[in-house]
Amino acid sequence: MRKKSFRFWAEKRLSLEESRPVGYVQDDVDWARSHGYGSRIMAKEDSARLSNPNIAYRMSLSRSRQRAYDLAMDGGRDAVVLTSRTPSGGTITKQSGGCVGQAEKTLYGDPAAWFRSDTTVSNLRPLYVSKLLHDKEFTSAVNAWSHCMSKAGHPFPDPDAARQSTREHSAEQTRAEEARTFAHETRIAVADATCARLASLRSIGERREAHYVGELAGKYGPALDAHRRMQRHALTRAERIVPART
């Protein structure tokens, strides 16, 4: 039988439950029982990206019309180039023009200010992740999780290792192969979530992460506050715009 990616069978639209972000620790046993680590959800996302109507429309255009499309979308060479420094000292740039730039202005008010705050907040993690991974309370919870997993027949040192073990298979699978792979993924994910809950791994991790983020508040507090404020503004604006267009 000719092998096909599971994307062949994946539906495109995600439910609210499927759209929920899955972090380093996932302790919702019911969610894990239904979705494992989310491999089928990722397949749906991939399918949606591949069939994006905007991409399909652009591909249907002539080369000259494609250039006009791109110019309208991002503003081309005349677009403003935004630059921002990351907390670790790097530099990130992006164009802000055309329809994309206008959309950002509508949602966030000041695209440059949003880009600066988002660059800062999105790159804070490298400043404290090493401290978190070596935090005594957090490592104790991870060890308790690992002991629980070993008793369940899944000897892994941490949640990331458990998750990665379910991805050691070919990207191209038949329907039957995918079903077996997903069943294996689900068994490990359910044990992972069960042990995470027993070890209070998520709550401990969130509390210790908040502690280390708090240590950065003196220097990066204004960026964190601006980021939250502009996110709320964007959400409010989006809620007003979408009903008016539907």
Give the model confidence (pLDDT) of 45-86 as tens digits. 877 777 788 888 898 999 999 999 999 999 888 889 999 999
In the prediction, which pLDDT does 139 show? 97
- Cβ partners under 8 Å of residue 221, min gap 6: none
Classify 246 as helix, strand or coil.
Answer: coil
pLDDT at 3 over 60: no
Mean pLDDT, to the nearest integer, of 201-223? Answer: 93
Looking at the predicted structure, is the pLDDT value of residue 245 above 70?
Answer: no
List Cα–Cα distances, 111 to 45, 115, 180, 239, in angstroms. Answer: 27, 6, 47, 19
User: 5 pLDDT band (50/70/90 cuts)?
Assistant: very low
Contact between 25 and 202 under an 8 Å Cβ cutoff? The reply is yes
pTM recorded for the entire structure = 0.76
Residue in the structure block whose two tokens are 């991409």: 55
202-213: buried (b, 16+ CB within 10 Å) or exposed (e) per residue?
A: bebbeebbeebb
Average pLDDT, rounded, for the chain: 87
| All residues at 6 or more sequence positions from 76 whose CB lies less than 8 Å from its CB, including other chains | 70, 97, 98
